[in-house]
Structure 1
Amino acid sequence: MNVVQIVGCALNTGAGRGIRAVHEALLDAGIHSRVLGRVERDLPDDLFARRVPLLQRLPVGVKNRVYMWHLTRQFGVIPPNFHPISHGLRLHNTPEYRKADVIHVQWAHAPTLGPAFWRAIKREKRPVVWTLRDMWPFTGGCHFSGSCEKYACGCGQCPLLGGKDEKITSDDVAFKAEHYGQQSVFVAISNMIAEQARRSVALGERQIHVIPNSVQMSQLRAVDKAQARSALGLPAQKFVIASGALNLADPRKGADIMRHLLNVYRDNKDVHWCLFGKGLAELADPVPENCTGFGLIRDEVTLNQIYSAADVFVMPSLQESFGKVTVEAMACGTPVIGLFKTPAEEIISHGQTGWLVKHGDADAVVAAIETARALPVPSLRNFGVSARAAVIDRYSPEAIARLYIELYESLLSGDQR
């Protein structure tokens, strides 16, 4: 079976690591999987991942910058997570695409998938699998809609464009809905993103499968807390709370909640914060003395140590398609505090592997932290043991790859149950 994985991000990003892990598991299972797209350079040959050449990417990048510049002149400042279909790569002209039995769009965004690619998809007779890693495949250009639900009525008058009377976003939704064609199948990485897709105009009449994101479990283990804290220079006897995101100051990632938490515990000498991701100085100025920031983490060893060093991990994000750090922390034997109405409620068992609190309620997060602090050390450790057991098999690349293989085989046999 030949499968081409269309990827619009580097494989060392959060989404990219999950894609790579499943791709490698597919290769190990005997699937002729090939990755194609905006991946990083110097990847090993046996990974079978090809980066689109610069001479093809460069003109597309220039055209997209010009397009976004025109939008900015018309509507004002445009958020970085907004990009309607404009110009993209001609991935449908590649050998990997032509040889594939199944076309799998693993991460879709405008600078990768241009109109020519969409027209090729509409003509396809082969199965096309779309993994919904965010909301872009069924919105008018945003990857996450926040509190906006205009995708349920076809977009238009987009709040990101000032709520003006515009047709860019509604035309984008209509274009996507028309060009998916009948051969496209959709896979959400959480029940929450699946429900949003089912409410959308673009995908409302489609069957939405759910296959969770994968986490490379072989690189995550429960390191002895004392050793992890010593390696990271963290205090040995304090209650350590960890949290992290690509950008800690991003409102969608729960920045307001984190600011409240840091202020509540600013003078508490029994608590120490351990944060990773950019934006700490923007999140808290000044950064509390009982907080250690590690910036962006690229190596798995340090990330493993941070998760393991913590007594509890806080996941304050208000909107996610999956929430990979939740699974990663639990895989390292650390219970997690997350929010209801996010995918965390699909991962955390309240009172067993962590705690779930009211969406957006910073004081409820404080209460959950105090609940964890009040537990005897053996009880809190049991939470961690249960957390690891809950995720170690369910989200492994091998388990997720098996689900995709079953889907591929059913599509090729004509059985799309």
Structure 2
Amino acid sequence: MVLHLSTFHLEGGAGVAATRLHRALQKSGTESRMLVPTLQNPEENVAALAKNSWESKKAWGRFVAERLYFFPQERDSSVRFAFSPAEIGADISNHPLVRQADILHLHWINFGFLSLSSLEKLFSLGKPVVWTLHDMWTFTGGCHYSRGCNHYLSHCQYCPYLAKPEQYDISFSQFERKISIYEKAKMALISPSRWLDQIVKNAALTRSNYSDSIPNCIDTTLFAPSDKMLIRKKILLPTDKKLILFAGANTQDPRKGFSYFKDSLKLLPDEVEILVLGKANPAVFDSFPAPVHYLGKITRQEDMADAYNAADMIVVPSLEDNLPNTIMEAMACGTPAVGFATGGIPEMIDHKVNGFVSELKSSDSLAEGINWILNNNSNGLVSANARTKVLNTYSENIVANQYQNLYKSLLSE
């Protein structure tokens, strides 16, 4: 039995990716279970560590305690959730599912779910561990994305996320703890993108571990093309405009590149209007150079698929990203993507085949990509190529098979 450990079930990119893999493995005949801190939506073979309201409060308390631990050390509020000290977490080493598992499969486990001490106890059980990396935290001194810092290649210290970077700061001590803990682990590190896997192979903490790249997967029957105009009428969107989708509108996070997207809109034709999906302050869009249709935060996957199908393209201007679910979901619906040449994005978008890869941090290049799709997809070929890329690379059976082969090799050693 494979046990997936994830802070989130159906929330956030990492939680969604973990749950999709768990479901895909079950469809492919693997006995798969999932353990999360708390569970909002009951699902077969997904268990919550918290079984009652008191335990749910304890889970929340662990999250708060971990944030309070970091609060006095943070540089400013913009990095508050970009660094995880992993000092607070639950000991799950004696949990029945952990004891029953043949393989422990870690995903994103921060925010008070598992601490470094929790990981040490899990690794001491001697079970094979697969760890899917949804960001860079596994091999850094605490940051989830390094934002250009490369200390992790040798040893983290003088961390730019901290108010007082020092030689022996919290990033140094976490790095040292990870060195000690990883020595006890029989561990395979899996990155959804080849970009991240290459960094894993170079990082000081992980270069001696087995690592490989296996992408995230997606249900291509749920995320599939449908009638664009019917959907637009259903959700009250204009049928005579070109609609560009920006999903996950965290306008406060510089990593998401929102300002570059906004600037690119000044270079687009008048027929273009904007769809925004995700949690955001609608007042932010008052100054936009194009009309904005704000769809809010959508949780149902069927509604997500409608949003993708309503759009003519999606724009993902992230400055750092692993293998964005939004690009995969949009392309599965036959909606081409424009994104910066960073992280795993160029692995997903084949330039001028199923989308457009823009020059990093260039609003002009982003606008060029948007215009290229507007001018080259009238016959639907770019959309068809986008769908084909997902079917051939990210469909459930293909990804599940790669993980099944990995599990077998670990168990046979």
* TM-score, normalization by structure 1: 0.91
Match of 1:13 in 2: 12
Structure 1 residues 57 and 93 mapped into 2: Cα distance closer, same or farther (>3 Å)?
farther
1:306 is the counterpart of 2:279: no
Note the C-alpha offset of 1:372. Answer: 2.3
Note the C-alpha offset of 1:101. Answer: 0.9
Match of 1:131 in 2: 132
What stretches of structure 1 of length at least 5 have no aligned partner? none
Match of 2:215 in 1: 212
Q: Deviations over 1:39-95 (max 9, x none)?
A: 423413x33433434544544643553454354335553521212120101111100
1:111 is the counterpart of 2:109: no
Identity of aligned residues (%): 27
Comparing 384-393 with 145-154, greater Cα deviation is found at: 145-154
- The residue matched to 2:104 in structure 1 has which SS? strand
Q: Are 1:121 and 1:179, in contact at CA under 8 Å, matched by a contact in 2?
A: no
Q: Are 2:133 and 2:189, in contact at CA under 8 Å, matched by a contact in 1?
A: yes
**2:170 equivalent among 163, 168, 179:** 168
Distance (Å, rounded) in 2 between the aligned partners of 1:218 and 1:3: 25
- Letter aligned with residue 197 of structure 1: V
Residue pairs, 1:35-74, within 5 angstroms: 35-44=34-43, 46-53=44-51, 54-56=53-55, 58-59=57-58, 61-62=60-61, 65-66=64-65, 68-74=67-73
- Letter aligned with residue 238 of structure 1: K
1:194 is the counterpart of 2:197: yes
Note the C-alpha offset of 1:257. Answer: 1.0
Q: Deviations over 1:345-404 (max 9, x none)?
A: 1011111101111111111011122222233621xx110011101112421222211111
- Letter aligned with residue 177 of structure 1: I
Residue pairs, 1:13-412, within 5 angstroms: 13-44=12-43, 46-53=44-51, 54-56=53-55, 58-59=57-58, 61-62=60-61, 65-66=64-65, 68-75=67-74, 77=76, 79-109=80-110, 111-162=112-163, 164-165=165-166, 166-180=168-182, 181-245=184-248, 247-265=250-268, 268-281=269-282, 283-287=284-288, 290-375=291-376, 377-378=378-379, 381-412=380-411
- Letter aligned with residue 12 of structure 2: T
Cα root mean square deviation, aligned: 2.2
Distance (Å, rounded) in 2 between the aligned partners of 1:190 and 1:365: 22
Note the C-alpha offset of 1:141. Answer: 1.3
* TM-score, normalization by structure 2: 0.92
Matched positions, count? 408
Q: Are 1:259 and 1:284, in contact at CA under 8 Å, matched by a contact in 2?
A: no
Structure 1 residues 389 and 411 mapped into 2: Cα distance closer, same or farther (>3 Å)?
same
What stretches of structure 2 of length at least 5 have no aligned partner? none
Distance (Å, rounded) in 2 between the aligned partners of 1:306 and 1:150: 40
Q: Are 1:8 and 1:109, in contact at CA under 8 Å, matched by a contact in 2?
A: yes
- The residue matched to 1:228 in structure 2 has which SS? helix
